[in-house]
Amino acid sequence: MKHIEDGRLRRFVTAVFAKAGSSPEEAGMIGKRLVDSNLMGHDSHGVVRVPSYIGWLGEGKIKPNMHVKVVAEAQGFAILDGQGGYGQVLGGEAMEIAIAKARAAGVAMIALRHAHHLGRIGDWAETCAAAGCASIHFVNVVHTGGLVAPWGGKERRMSTNPFCCGMPIEGREPIILDFATSKVAEGKVQVARNKGVDLPPGCVVDGEGRPSLNPNDLYGPPPGALAPFGDHKGYGLAFFCDLLAGALSGGGCNHDGHPNLGTVHNNMMSIVIDLQRVGDAGAIDAEARHFVDWMKACKPVDAEGAVMAPGEPERKTRADRLAKGIPLDDTTIAQMQAAARSVGVDEAAIADLVA
């Protein structure tokens, strides 16, 4: 493993996407969002994605420099189409619209369809929290043929279908809950494969439906499947992520009639709540503080540990990686450098990644 300073990594990723045809603003946003995911410990949604993005771009499966298109709207809702552009840009634009509508109506529902990989969904909850808004986000992933077996099944039917919530607290870091409804995100299987390490038990079944620790068994042949987290409970939440994000947005749910384009497209349904417009904002904030403090005051099982609120583990990882650098394995670095070379990034800049 090598540890790479976040600014160096961001410059490298930005240079790759600028050479690949993105505007300076878009390239910079992709670089920021991917590296921020690594900083927060969500390596599955970080720079490991660069080679696949560049590959899909070359196949015409990502459209650079796209923006959200308003399909339908009223005071408290909008349906947006991402037109196959980079999710790191489209997600931010969707949240700008959602926050503005929540300011006007108190609560807004925004459905975004046809966005290429939206990345770490916690980014969008953090964006809302910074504007004083609580938010809930249901996301599905379509066009990939599915990755996750339903509870009790052994065939792929859904994808990792993330769920996310955010709540601001005045003068404190926001509370952010962000997770895939599969036992692990598919990107974490990629990371384990690149590192050459086993997966934790219960994450993957092989092509015959047998539990496996080998990350290669997800990909086959024959392909295996990810398991839902929490057995039937995680499956039920994933089920509704597909329904709410896919059906309401018009981007579609996972089923055998949906076209498989061999890439990652996300749909997201977001509910955004302006806390200044829905009741006594001061009382809401005080109650949230008391609740968080009560949880954190719980005696930990490990005497040297601590009970943390959602979002705190990521912030601890961020502080550590800002100080020590972002750890990347040699396989991921080589794949990123190959992607950079394929779009014509200067060899000096490529070498500078690990200088």
Q: Is the pLDDT of residue 257 over 90?
A: no
Statement to judge: residues 26 and 7 lie in one domain: yes
| pLDDT(191) > 90 | no
Do 352 and 336 fall into the same domain? yes
- pTM here is 0.94
Tokens of 343: 């779009």
User: How far does the chain reach from its first CA to its final CA, in angstroms?
Assistant: 14
Burial of residue 262 (number of CB atoms within 10 Å: 0-12, 13-18, 19+): exposed
Closest CA to 270 of 141, 128, 130: 128
pLDDT of 319 reads: 98
pLDDT band at 259 (very low <50, low <70, confident <90, very high): confident
> What's the confidence (pLDDT) of residue 146?
87
Q: Are residue 164 and residue 209 in the same domain, yes or no?
A: no
Q: Identify whether residues 143 and 267 lie together within a single domain.
A: yes
Same domain, 118 and 241: yes
Same domain, 117 and 86: yes
Containing structural domain, residue 252: 66-180+231-324
> Tokens 């394995």, residue?
329
Alpha-carbon distance 340 to 74, whole Å? 43
Give the pLDDT band of residue 256 (cuts 50, 70, 90): confident
Tens digit of each residue's pLDDT (9 = 90 or more) over 111-132: 999 999 999 999 999 999 999 9
Together in a domain, 287 and 351? no
Mean pLDDT of the chain: 95
Q: Quick one: tokens of 69?
A: 């298109």
pLDDT tens across 207-244, in order? 999 999 999 999 999 999 999 999 999 999 999 999 99
